[in-house]
Amino acid sequence: MADNPNDLTEYKGMSRRTFMKNTGLVAGGVVGGGLLGGLLTNQMQQKPEVQSTTESGQIQDARVFFSRGQDFAILSAATERIFPKDDIGPGAIELGIPYFIDKQLSTEWGINAKEYMKGPFAVYTTNTGNHNVTKNQDKQGPNAETQVPAPTPRYQSKMTRSEIFVTGLREMDNVAQQEFGESFVKLTGEQQDDVLRMFEEGKVELKGIGSKNFFNLLLQTTIEGAYADPVYGGNKNMMGWKMKEYPGPRASYMAQIEVDEFVKLEPQSLRNYQGH
């Protein structure tokens, strides 16, 4: 299956028509290993457009989870659509969000180490595995303040989050090919949004997890990457916090708690806080 990260036949999900359009093959032509190989090689050579740079232009970060550059390039393009650069401030790529997600996927959270992962698993083929799609739980509750949908409500997949990411990103590329005849990273911003929306609405079949759950996970981690403490690789130079005028970890807000006017404090991160 195209949605299995362990599977070699990447392009099974792609329609014959688009496949031929992309490879320039004529009907009846032979699809040989060489050609397919060539296609894959091309992809590998596609330079990921994402680099995390300092002001001096030096690359500062490296992948520790994603082995395949192309997966990371799709991730980067997708997160930038979710959290774009605009006149308020930097977008996902500049904030280091793709690297944040990359690191998170190799933590205990990425491999669901502290979660119940014993079977049997109820397999939902089409969408979400969520019994209650009607309600966005995250809009209320003392501990559920995040206003983006839960990652995977009613998580019932055998797959870990890191497996879900690889599967989901590759399927995004398949859908891009099917719908627009191009790799996801080559699409226009609007076209990328169309693909993302298909996932968001659960219109893509993503076996074992559901495209909607993958989308929500992508969305949640993107937001986390923008605003988590910079020690995790996102929120570069506290730029996420600066946009929100959020001060970061402090010993005390005693001096601000009763004040009527908004008090803007220069943000501090755990690097300052633990180091003091």
Map the footprint of another protein across residues 177-236, applying CB under 8 A: 193, 196, 200, 219, 222-224, 227-229, 232
Identify which of residues 55 and 258 has a Cβ nearer to another protein in the complex.
Answer: 258
Kindly tell me the number of DSSP H helices and DSSP E strands found in the chain: 10, 0
CB of 133 to another protein, least distance (A): 10
Among 135, 188, 201, 266, binds another protein (CB under 8 A): 135
Identity of the residue, 48 or 233, whose beta carbon is nearer to another protein in the bound complex: 233
Cα–Cα distances (Å) from 122 to 6, 70, 241, in that order, read 21, 31, 40
Residue 59 backbone phi and psi in degrees, to 5: -70, 130
Nearer to another protein, 27 or 251 (CB): 251
Residue number, 41 or 137, with CB nearest to another protein: 137
How many CB atoms lie under 10 A from the CB of residue 18? Answer: 18
The least distance separating another protein from the CB of residue 84, rounded to whole angstroms, comes to 5
Question: Is the CB of residue 245 less than 8 Å from the CB of residue 264?
Answer: yes
Dihedral sign for Cα 208, 213, 219, 225, please: negative
Q: Is 163 exposed, middle or buried (0-12, 13-18, 19+ CB in 10 A)?
A: buried
> What residues have CB less than 8 Å from 7, skipping those under 6 apart?
1
The correct pick among 44, 64, 123, 270 for binding another protein (CB under 8 A) is 270
18 vs 269 by CB, closer to another protein: 269
Closer residue to another protein (CB): 42 or 273: 273
Which stretch, 53-61, 166-174, 180-188, 242-250, contacts another protein (CB under 8 A)?
A: 242-250
33 touches another protein by CB under 8 A: no
Which residue type occupies 2?
Answer: A
Packing angle, helices 16-23 and 33-45, rounded to 10: 70
CA distance 263 to 8: 56
Rounded least distance, CB 264 to another protein, Å: 9
- Calculate the CA 115 to chain-centre distance: 21
The Cα–Cα gap between 204 and 206 comes to: 6
- Window 82-111: residues binding another protein (CB under 8 A): 82-84, 86, 88, 109
Binding residue for another protein, selected from 132, 186, 203, 266, defined by CB under 8 A: 132
| Binder of another protein out of 1, 4, 40, 246 (CB under 8 A) | 246
Q: Which of 17, 135 has the CB closer to another protein?
A: 135
**Number of residues in contact with another protein, rule: CB under 8 A?**
76
Give the x-and-dash track for 45-84 against another protein (CB under 8 A). ------------------------------------xxxx
